[in-house]
Structure 1
């Protein structure tokens, strides 16, 4: 009987630890902040989540960068997602880059067509849904305009100088 209770307690503790270590509230708070104010202009932010393919991509073969999406959740079991758009990655096979590999006769793309090379140079297919720790600098396009031409509610941004590792 004691063994049964001990096993139950260990299982409950293990599940609780997994849930709490999977919490990602800081990333969600950061995403909400960058989408609602300019406080993060030229600041480096850190997020934990998954890269996702952009909703549209056009590659002429001359593009040196690609705008990727990065998805964060409040915790591992959450269905609520927050998508960070315009995460600018260099195209190629160097560290912290993205490679878009699609046959010429293929019309549609999926995550299977995207690979990233993390800060360690490891090649990872995005279809594996790997979680990454990403850092990058936030820049708001509206703040590049003269002050009298700015829209105070336009929080369009790009995240540049991106580095990431598997979490």
Structure 2
């Protein structure tokens, strides 16, 4: 009787592990491609991961956008991370935006100071490490220069027209 239960469990274990390990490879591949070629220029991409605070923030309250980071992992139990930089979000309380709240007496910011409002209007604090499905259009700064002046190894990009929702 126990053998009848063990055999199916042994067969299902590798399948479960395989599906867990390959759950986010497409997002990782997309980021790797964005950092190594211009194939995604002016194309809409989709990534699954979580928003992270930018490396720095604006110094005045007049900025209308903020370049956020978006972190993806190859799979749920991985410590390896890939980051899409310059995910441009409007600052405010509208859908698909970021809200940065830093008390006047606080000098350093943490994830607790950032909230994102998804396409459904749901406000989420970044400190919860929520997974989102994000889409946006990739633009390479280098391709805006005349062809003779381009550095073919510079793959700096920005992602605009961003929409996102909880995954």
Same fold, TM-score > 0.5, yes or no: yes
Distance change in 2, residues 1:8/1:104 (3 Å)? farther
Q: 2:108 maps to which residue?
A: 108
Q: 1:66 maps to which residue?
A: 66
Q: 1:99 maps to which residue?
A: 99
Q: Structure 2 CA distance, aligned partners of 1:134 and 1:89? A: 11
Per-residue displacement from partner, 1:21-56 (whole Å, max 9, x unpaired)?
571000000000000000100000000000000011
Measure how far apart 1:58 and its partner are.
1.8
Equivalent residues in 2 for 1:9-88, closer than 5 Å:
13=12, 17=16, 20=19, 23-88=23-88
Structure 2 residue runs of 5 or longer lacking an equivalent are none
TM-score by length of 2: 0.91
TM-score by length of 1: 0.91
**Between Structure 1 and Structure 2, how many residues are aligned?**
166
Do the aligned residues in 2 keep the contact of 1:19 with 1:75 (CA within 8 Å)?
A: no
**SS in structure 2 opposite 1:20?**
helix
**SS in structure 1 opposite 2:85?**
strand
Q: Structure 2 CA distance, aligned partners of 1:39 and 1:77? A: 30
The Cα RMSD (Å) is 2.1
* Structure 1 stretches of 4+ moved >6 Å: none
Q: Structure 1 CA distance, aligned partners of 2:14 and 2:53? A: 31
Q: 1:158 maps to which residue?
A: 158
